[in-house]
């Protein structure tokens, strides 16, 4: 007959000892290696560059993110992050229903511009029903209307050494003990010129509400929500991100999130 | 046996007349341990990511104004004003205070879905959880590609993993033998092993990779068929979670079997490749 290498009783003993060590294997022993500027974390984070390169290779430049039908708009767009900025400059504009709002376009452009909301609304528009994916894990389908960013960039005339578009925002976010900083974000020229990348002023058929980024926010449909800056004050075209904010290309990036958020 | 994995040439007779064979190839052993490390860290960083929004849904989106939720772990204040950890599975509530939803010492309760000892890092840090998860996702997928190609070429897949008719017929017998704690050690995988390894390697692993990719907005543009295949991004996230549970279940049984079947012999075979047969197989398979 086959023989038992381990009896049931002895097995339970061994298994009990093994199981009791599981919590010890838990996770604070890795915390040091993964903190802030530890080189181990830096090495692991380099996988994001690999993901960025491969997705740029795999996804045709103008390939659209999936769009949905009206029937799939089943709820309002969930507001997240800043939902009611209290910065004085923003409050002054909001009180006058953004009549004095100007979108500042500067940096590596031939013709720096200041655009009113009416000017933006009179430019060719695009409406798209897309899925907003938050880095936290949830998704929400909504209809966005706005002017393609490529159109604004063309009017301003982008210089040949331009590599990134930076969005500067009205809302300040906490940096913990380091005080606070204005929200900002950045994308490469491929996403900046993507047909679905719009400066949105409309949501689900109405004017963009304050909670969702009024008067202007950007939609970058092939990346996660934190890339899609709200309360946009200015657009700056640059060749280098290291001199802006914390130097990593965005408010969340400066706190450790990946710059490329297509995953 | 006419295969190289159990090539009679490699069989050596030990001093105590016990028979050992070369059971696992180098590539099988290396991929096994690479997966073990990667899956451990994928699990713990995955639970960290889950904690950022500890709820699962069916469909394209997450219902906030409607209900398409199937699972959630939330802290909730009870009638006595005490905060309890409530885990909801398909509408049924379970009090999981101490582990899920609310954990940690009484004085310093943490209101988080999975407790500190089950996440990497131990504290709440979605950014770092994602960094760890996507690094080891690359490791996991790369090792899978290597294992798959090697196993097709060297015959491991066809001979040891894919169950045949004989394995299906042998299943009831193997099952009753296992329930009686009778384990046969002839060096080959029995029908239960083949079936479970085939499930894990050919179904669960690819499902993990594909549902993971379905959550990527970039990949949704590249391969929109992923959304059709899994029925939406949030369904894919739910499947990713369920397959994680199945893999944890496999891991528990896998460890159980290693201990039950002889931990020294089993561990040695996965480290050095050498595996000792039962005495009765001396003249049997090792013709």
The percent of residues above 90 in pLDDT, for chain A, comes to 82
Same domain, B198 and B243: yes
pLDDT per position as a tens digit, A39-98: 999 999 999 999 999 999 999 999 999 999 999 999 999 999 999 999 999 999 999 999
Task: Name the closest residue on chain B to residue A66, using Cα atoms.
Answer: B221
Same domain, B19 and B60: no
Q: Is residue A218 part of a domain?
A: yes
Q: What is the pLDDT along chain B (287 residues), one digit of tens a residue?
A: 334 444 444 444 444 446 788 888 899 999 999 999 999 999 999 999 999 999 999 999 999 999 999 999 999 998 998 899 999 999 999 999 999 999 988 888 899 999 999 999 999 999 999 999 999 999 999 999 999 999 999 999 998 899 888 888 888 888 888 888 777 666 678 888 899 999 999 999 999 999 999 999 999 999 999 999 999 999 999 999 999 999 999 999 999 988 888 888 888 889 888 888 876 554 444 32
Q: What total number of domains does chain A contain?
A: 1
Contact B274, B21 (CB under 8 A): yes
SS (H, E, C) chain B: CCCHHHCHHHCEECCCCCEEEECCCHHHHHHHHHHHHHHHHHHHHHHHHHHHCCEEECCCCCCCCCCCEEEEEEEEECCCCCEEEEEEECCEEEECCECCEEECCHHHCEEECCCHHHCCCCCCCHHHHHHHHHHHHHHHHHHHHHHHHHHHHCCHHHHHHCCCHHHHHHHHHHHHHHHCCCCCCCCCCCHHHHHHHHHHHHHHHHHHHHHHHHCCHHHHHHCCHHHHHHCCHHHHHHHHHHHHHHHHHHHHHHHHHHHHHCHHHHHHHHHCCEEECCHHHCCCCCC
Q: Is residue B127 part of a domain?
A: no
- CB-nearest to A136 from B53, B131, B259 is B53
- CA B217, CA B238: separation in Å to the nearest integer? 16
- CA B286, CA B18: separation in Å to the nearest integer? 12
**Residue A87: φ, ψ to 5°:** -65, 135
Q: Is residue A236 part of a domain?
A: yes
User: What's the pLDDT band for A218 if we cut at 50, 70, 90?
Assistant: very high
Same domain, B106 and B203: no
- CA B249, CA B80: separation in Å to the nearest integer? 36
Same domain, B158 and B260: yes
Same domain, B102 and B171: no
The three-state secondary structure class of A158 is strand
**CATH number of the domain enclosing A108:** 3.90.420.10
Task: Name the closest residue on chain A to residue B276, using Cα atoms.
Answer: A5
Q: Is residue A39 part of a domain?
A: no
Q: Is residue B137 part of a domain?
A: no
Across the interface, whether the CB atoms of A257 and B130 are under 8 A apart is answered yes
Provide the residue range defining the domain that includes A250.
66-254
Q: Is residue B214 part of a domain?
A: yes
Q: Is residue A13 part of a domain?
A: no
Same domain, B159 and B256: yes
Q: Is residue B8 part of a domain?
A: yes
Across the interface, whether the CB atoms of A68 and B60 are under 8 A apart is answered yes
Q: Is residue A205 part of a domain?
A: yes
| Stretch (H or E) spanning A141 | strand A139-148
Q: Is residue A202 part of a domain?
A: yes
Which chain B residues touch A194 with a CB distance below 8 Å? none
Tell me A109's DSSP state.
Answer: B
Task: Name the closest residue on chain B to residue A68, using Cα atoms.
Answer: B60
Q: Is residue A12 part of a domain?
A: no
Across the interface, whether the CB atoms of A66 and B221 are under 8 A apart is answered yes
Q: Is residue A27 part of a domain?
A: no
Same domain, B196 and B272: yes
Which chain A residues touch B137 with a CB distance below 8 Å? 47
Q: Is residue B36 part of a domain?
A: no
At A81 the pLDDT is 92
At B127 the pLDDT is 96
Same domain, B269 and B182: yes
Same domain, B164 and B223: yes
Return mean pLDDT, chain A. Answer: 91
Across the interface, whether the CB atoms of A136 and B55 are under 8 A apart is answered no
- CB-nearest to A263 from B66, B127, B134 is B134
At A9 the pLDDT is 53
Q: Is residue B49 part of a domain?
A: no
Across the interface, whether the CB atoms of B62 and A140 are under 8 A apart is answered yes
Q: Is residue B231 part of a domain?
A: yes
Across the interface, whether the CB atoms of B116 and A26 are under 8 A apart is answered yes
Same domain, B177 and B230: yes
Task: Name the closest residue on chain B to residue A140, using Cα atoms.
Answer: B61
Task: Measure in Å the smallest separation between the Cα of A3 and chain B Cα atoms.
Answer: 7
ipTM above 0.90, yes or no: no
- Which two three-digit tokens encode residue B221? 């543009």
Contact A261, A224 (CB under 8 A): yes
The three-state secondary structure class of A219 is strand
At B248 the pLDDT is 98
User: What's the pLDDT band for A27 if we cut at 50, 70, 90?
Assistant: low
Q: Is residue B239 part of a domain?
A: yes
Q: What total number of domains does chain B contain?
A: 2
- CB-nearest to B122 from A28, A58, A221 is A28
At A167 the pLDDT is 98
Provide the residue range defining the domain that includes B162.
4-25+154-281
Task: Name the closest residue on chain A to residue B237, using Cα atoms.
Answer: A137
* Residue owning tokens 């069916």: B58
- CA A15, CA B283: separation in Å to the nearest integer? 34
């Amino acid at each position: 007959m086959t023989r038992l290498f381990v009896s049931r009783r002895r097995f339970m003993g061994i298994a009990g000892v093994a199981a009791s060590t599981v919590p010890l294997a838990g996770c604070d022993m890795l915390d040091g290696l993964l903190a802030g500027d530890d080189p181990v974390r830096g090495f692991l984070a380099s996988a994001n560059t690999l993901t960025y390169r491969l997705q740029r290779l795999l996804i045709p430049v103008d390939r659209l993110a999936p769009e949905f039908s009206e029937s799939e708009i089943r709820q309002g767009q969930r507001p997240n992050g800043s939902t009611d900025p209290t910065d004085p400059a923003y409050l002054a504009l909001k009180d006058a229903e953004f009549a004095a709002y100007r979108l500042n376009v500067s940096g590596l452009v031939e013709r720096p511009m200041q655009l009113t909301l009416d000017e933006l609304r009179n430019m060719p528009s695009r409406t798209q029903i897309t899925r907003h994916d938050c880095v936290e894990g949830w998704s929400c389908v909504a209809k966005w209307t706005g002017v393609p960013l490529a159109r604004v960039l063309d009017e301003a005339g982008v210089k040949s050494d331009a590599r990134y578009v930076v969005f500067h925002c009205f809302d300040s976010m906490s940096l913990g003990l380091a005080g606070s900083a204005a929200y900002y974000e950045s994308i490469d020229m491929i996403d900046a010129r993507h047909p679905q990348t719009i400066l949105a002023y409309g949501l689900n058929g109405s004017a963009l509400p304050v909670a969702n980024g009024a008067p202007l926010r950007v939609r970058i449909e092939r990346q996660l929500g934190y890339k899609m800056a709200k309360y946009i004050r200015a657009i700056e075209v640059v060749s280098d991100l290291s001199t802006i904010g914390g130097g990593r290309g965005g408010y969340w990036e400066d706190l450790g999130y990946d710059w490329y958020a297509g995953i | 046996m006419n295969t190289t994995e159990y090539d009679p040439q490699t069989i050596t007779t030990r001093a105590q007349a016990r028979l050992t064979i070369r059971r696992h190839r180098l590539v099988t052993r290396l991929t096994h341990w690479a997966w073990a490390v990667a899956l451990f860290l994928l699990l713990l960083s995955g639970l960290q990511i889950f904690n950022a929004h500890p709820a699962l849904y069916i469909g394209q989106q997450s219902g906030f104004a409607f209900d398409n939720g199937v699972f959630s772990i939330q802290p909730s204040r009870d009638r006595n004003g005490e905060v309890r950890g409530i885990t909801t599975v398909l509408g049924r509530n379970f009090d999981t205070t101490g582990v899920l939803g609310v954990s940690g010492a009484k004085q310093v309760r943490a209101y988080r879905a999975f407790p500190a000892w089950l996440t990497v890092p131990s504290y709440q840090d979605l950014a770092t959880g994602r960094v760890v998860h996507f690094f080891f996702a690359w490791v996991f997928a790369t090792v899978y590609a290597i294992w798959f190609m090697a196993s097709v070429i060297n015959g491991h897949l066809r001979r040891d993993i894919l169950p045949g008719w004989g394995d299906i017929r042998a299943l009831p017998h193997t099952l009753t033998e296992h329930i009686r704690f009778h384990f046969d050690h002839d060096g080959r995988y029995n029908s239960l092993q083949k079936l479970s390894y085939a499930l894990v390697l050919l179904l669960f692993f690819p499902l993990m990779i594909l549902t993971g990719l379905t959550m990527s907005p970039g990949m949704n543009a590249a391969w929109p068929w992923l959304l059709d295949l899994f029925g939406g991004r949030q369904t894919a996230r739910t499947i990713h979670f369920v397959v994680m549970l199945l893999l944890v279940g496999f891991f528990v049984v896998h460890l159980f079997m290693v201990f039950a079947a002889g931990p020294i012999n089993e561990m040695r075979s996965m480290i050095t490749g050498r595996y000792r047969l039962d005495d009765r197989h001396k003249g049997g398979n090792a013709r």
